[in-house]
Structure 1
Amino acid sequence: MKLKISFVAIALLVAINVFSQNTYVFLGSYNRDKTAESIQVYQLDTINGKLSKITSAKNIVNPSYLTLSPNGKYLYACTDTKTPNAGSVSSFEFNPENKTLTFLNSQRSGGENPVYVSVHKSGKWLVNGNYTEGSVSVHPLLENGKIDSIAQNFQYMDGSIHKERQARSHIHSTVFSPQNDYLFMPDLGADKIRCYRFDETQKQPLVETDHPFLKTDLEAGPRHFTFHPNQKYGYCIEEMAGAISVYQYQNGVLTKIQRINTHPDKITEGFESSDIHISPDGKFLYATNRGKENNIAIFSIDENGLLKNIGYQSTLGKHPRIFAIDESGKFLVASNVITGNVVVFKRNSKTGLLKKIGKEVKMENVSCIQIKQI
């Protein structure tokens, strides 16, 4: 009996160790120096939260936002971000065994200042949003991971009431629905969440719907969007208003049921809310606040999808832009652009609260984090 228990214990330890060594953290940045490592890859030890650098990529201008293919074999980036008269999306092959990140190709993004890129669950389509020119582009993905030329591009001209920030459309994210049959695009400039049906069998997969957009509150500045794991609710963080709008979701239609601040009521201006994610168990929502606050707002999620604020956690740096939660739900990793530091927090699964763990990683102008178990 003791021998049998020992074998079980050893097997469990091996499994835990393998899991911890197969989780990778990908960092993007604003970096115009082509000699610098503008994309970096780390292993995340999911036992102690330690980050260990394994590879990087150079000769890339401003890979500000990253995403991965469903199988984790390919990395896609918004490149030439914030570069006048430019904008591209680029692909890389990631080989964890050889510890390499190899550039494959680039394509024009279809608009200036690409800020967000998503991959369809089939691994055959890439969609990117261009902020400055307010457009969305769809690219086919080839079997070797390379990006094909643009199959579709839509540009929008309408704005909203803020004269400086909303003179025209500014697409800030491109998010697939839980079933990957719709695409939602928060438009900061127009105070709208745009929507298309996504038909992956067509050469031009974006199909107009009877509900092409949902109007948000004026001067909300909708930015990023995420769906609850139960697929019944959607959550949009509003950069300009410093708020989160909660929606019921069904068959491509959003119905607002709540709006709640991401900041304490005593703060009345200077909002720069940024990113939003939900824990894998669906019990907690996290949202970053930049500007004066530089923190992560923490919310519990009720069974009816409504949010309740339960606290704030400093990101221990300035200007947190993008953060990510690992697939086990044990860790949240945050990036601070201005101070150039990446901080790992251990997440309490019962309370939802965060606690710094391990040693920080330094990376100049770090802007994006993605985590993938491969």
Structure 2
Amino acid sequence: MKNYAFIQLMILTGTLWASAGKAASADLLQMLVGTYTTDSKSDGIYSLHFDQSSGKARIISSAKIGNPSFLRISKDARRIYSVSEYNDEKASANITGFNPGTGTFGTTVSIAASLTGKGAEDPCNIWSNDRFAVTANYTGGSLSVFAISGDKLDLRQHILFQKLRPSSTAHIHCALPTPDGKFLMVTDLGNDCIYRFTINPQADAGNDLPFLTDRRIVYNGPQGWGPRHFTFSKDGQFMYLINELGGTIVVLRYVNGYLLPIQSLMAEETPAHGSADIHLSPDGHYLYTSHRLKNDGIAIYKVNKATGLLTKKGYQQTARHPRNFAITPNGKYLLVASRDNNCIEIYRRNRHTGLLENTRQDIILPKPVCIQFVGL
């Protein structure tokens, strides 16, 4: 009888340990950081383990890639898509092998971001659905569309944008799909507009069909505002757009490929023409935007999920040049890539108020500018 009780106790203890192990594993994230390597000691892309329970991080490995200023991760987390942001022949799109279990990198394959390979593109953003990758090329005023075949990229389309006013120049900054997956929305910071392309589901690496077709403008913003980045609500009804030069947020209703502005409000605390990134909390109740150059920080907004409208709730000052930030999947932490202070600040997020508290557990890395998470 005693032996039976002991066995039962051991089984119970093992179950508790297993449950604790699963909980710990669920809280452990693989974290990838893109950096600027020009005039810095950075290797390129770094992998870290981040515990979204404690807010602590540990650097695991790095991959030597030039100026990987923006990253995306494949659905199976075994490939990293990145840009090399240069305005010469080094401008490229890259695929890097990745082991999500160990956090180590494989080989990198690169291809020029333009048809000529002569550069002057400054690719600053990349998106992929694992069949195609699309880079937004700021200086080139263009999109580059690459077919993906295994670990190789093939440039299929190089789409140029023209100036829409005598004094304007096309500066393409971001390209992301709509929630229904039918369209790709593209911000043109120089022309103050958003383009829409139809995504061709029949296109793939095995045929010559164009991936993007039917270009048209679906949003014209006020002159000089400079639309930069955007995000969609989880229900797909609303787009939230941050304007770099105007320092403003625009809320737009999304309906089957079309955008209708319903609210605009000032996001910057101090006019600086340096607004950068925008993200919703995982529960969709709060929106955050980053602002650089003066009074650097994160603006905080309460979201009315029924109407999509925003109410400003606060402003958290940060270290210098918060170009990019990310929120952990559990919503507990907000991490800010502060390029000019060579660190990633970790802020604890109050889920009820949306406000931020600096944990003082900075991750020290040279010129960090992009943060992505992968669940382990």
User: Does the TM-score normalized on the shorter chain lie above 0.5?
Assistant: yes
Is the 8 Å Cα contact of residues 172 and 224 (structure 1) preserved in structure 2?
Answer: yes
Q: Is residue 227 from structure 1 mapped to residue 227 from structure 2 by the alignment?
A: no
Alignment partners' CA distance in 2, 1:283 and 1:230: 12
The equivalent residue for 2:147 is 140
Q: How does 1:249-268 map to 2 (within 5 A)?
A: 249-264=254-269, 267=270
Q: 2:125 aligns with which of 110, 116, 124?
A: 116
Structure 2 segments unaligned to the other structure (5+ residues): 1-7, 204-208
1:304 maps onto 2:307 in alignment:
yes
Moved more, 35-44 or 231-240: 35-44
What is residue 178 of structure 1 aligned with on the other side?
179
Contact residue 340 and residue 362 of structure 1 kept, 8 A:
yes
Question: Whose strand fraction is larger, Structure 1's or Structure 2's?
Answer: 2
Larger gyration radius, structure 1 or structure 2: 2
Uncovered stretches (5+) of structure 1, i.e. residues with no partner: none
- CA-to-partner distance for each residue in 1:242-270, whole Å, 9 max, x for gaps? 00110001111111000011123xx3x32
* In structure 2, distance between residues paired with 1:320 and 1:281: 23
Change (3 A) 1:335 1:290: same
Over the aligned positions, Cα root-mean-square deviation in angstroms equals 2.1
What pairs with 1:173-322 in structure 2 (closer than 5 Å)? 173-202=174-203, 203-208=209-214, 211-264=216-269, 267=270, 269-302=271-304, 303-315=306-318, 317-322=319-324
Q: Secondary structure at the match of 1:333?
A: strand
Aligned partner letter, 2:106: T
Q: 1:213 Cα shift?
A: 3.4
- Tell me the residue number matched to 2:24: 17
Deviation digits for residues 324-354 of structure 1 (CA, Å, limit 9, x no counterpart): 1122222211101111111111222111111
The answer for the alignment partner of 1:157 in structure 2 is 162
* Alpha-carbon distance in structure 1 between the residues aligned to 2:314 and 2:63: 37
Aligned residue number for residue 52 of structure 1: 58
Preserved CA contact (<8 Å) 2:134 2:145: yes
- Is this contact kept in 2: 1:124–1:141, CA < 8 A? yes
Summarize deviations over 1:286-342 as a string: whole Å, max 9, x none: 000001121000001002000110001122x11110111122222211101111111
Corresponding pairs, count: 358
CA distance in 1: counterparts of 2:40 and 2:276, whole angstroms: 27
Alpha-carbon deviation of 1:129?
0.5
Contact 2:285-2:302 within 8 A present in 1 as well? yes
Moved more, 150-159 or 127-136: 150-159
Q: Is residue 35–residue 42 contact of structure 2 (8 Å, CA) maintained in 1? A: no
Give the 3-state SS of the residue equivalent to 1:150 in structure 2: strand
Q: Tell me, in whole angstroms, the C-alpha distance in 2 between the residues paired with 1:36 and 1:287.
A: 26
Of residues 37, 43, 68 in structure 2, which corresponds to 1:31?
37
1:176 shift after superposition: 1.0
Q: Any conservation in 2 of the 1:160–1:218 contact (CA below 8 Å)?
A: no
Q: Is the 8 A contact 1:196 1:212 kept in 2?
A: no
Q: Give the structure-2-normalised TM-score.
A: 0.90
Q: Distance in 2 between matches of 1:371 and 1:98?
A: 14
Structure 1 residue runs of 4 or more that deviate by more than 6 Å after TM superposition = 2-8
What displacement does 1:238 show?
Answer: 0.1
Q: What amino acid does structure 1 have at the position aligned with 2:57?
A: L
Partner of 1:343: 345
